Amino acid sequence: MNPYLHGNYWGQPQGGYYHPHVYYPPGYNPAASPAPPNPAVIAGAQPNRSKRYPTINPCLAADSSMIHPDLRKKPRSDITASTYHAYRHTQAMAYPVTNMRLICKSFPWTIDIVTTQSPITVEAVWEAMYAGLQEHLHDSEWGFACQDKKLRETIEKAAENRRKGDGDKVLKRIDWLGEATVFKGLEKSEEFEKVRLFPGSPPVAETWIIKLGTN
């Protein structure tokens, strides 16, 4: 089926979805949530598909996204309310996808998003990136980082600045990024995907690379 034969490629999925990295406030029920407003009428919205990556929602594609949340903050607090609610329930892909894998050239972790009923949404992608980078660093990860003086200093400086806001003294994965914590979109690189795939693990068709930058 051609996903572009119909007018709303990123239609709101029905029913709930779950991913362990997504936080749902008490009483939140995706199935009961009202349909979001049409993104085309929101100021600054992006009506056109990405030229390089036409199958992904344009607000997530690296060459078309104008929504650049800082992954140090919760997406719903860093993205303007009108934009957040306009896109949160729209599908991440032009066709229903229940499994996405996010990787990055700036950090060594894999972020998998898996749903059981409804297609993965834009909100699920935003929340998965934020939640994945809020995890604490493991001893083995610090052992690797401390062998690189520049990386170690970057992590320590970022952690010191972050603690002023959240008070968490334990090192977090977000600290690994230093100041390059701004989401610049998702992109593709088959070569990097093949190199990055852990030997023996099954590939995921919808594997995307997180592009990061600074404000």
Please give the pLDDT value at position 170: 96
Please give the pLDDT value at position 111: 97
Please give the pLDDT value at position 20: 40
Residue 57 and residue 96 in contact, taking contact as beta carbons nearer than 8 Å: no
Query: 121: closest CA among 182, 45, 33?
Result: 33
Please give the pLDDT value at position 142: 96
**Which residues are within 8 A (CB) of 26 and not within 5 positions of it... i.e. 6 or more apart?**
none
Q: Give the CA angle between residues 66, 72, 78 to the nearest 5°.
A: 45
Query: 176: closest CA among 105, 117, 127, 114?
Result: 105
Please give the pLDDT value at position 48: 72
Please give the pLDDT value at position 157: 97
Please give the pLDDT value at position 87: 95
Q: Under DSSP, is residue 61 helix (H, G, I), strand (E, B) or coil?
A: strand
- In this prediction, the residues of the chain whose per-residue pLDDT falls under 70 are 1-47
Question: Model's pTM, two decimal places?
Answer: 0.79
Please give the pLDDT value at position 43: 35
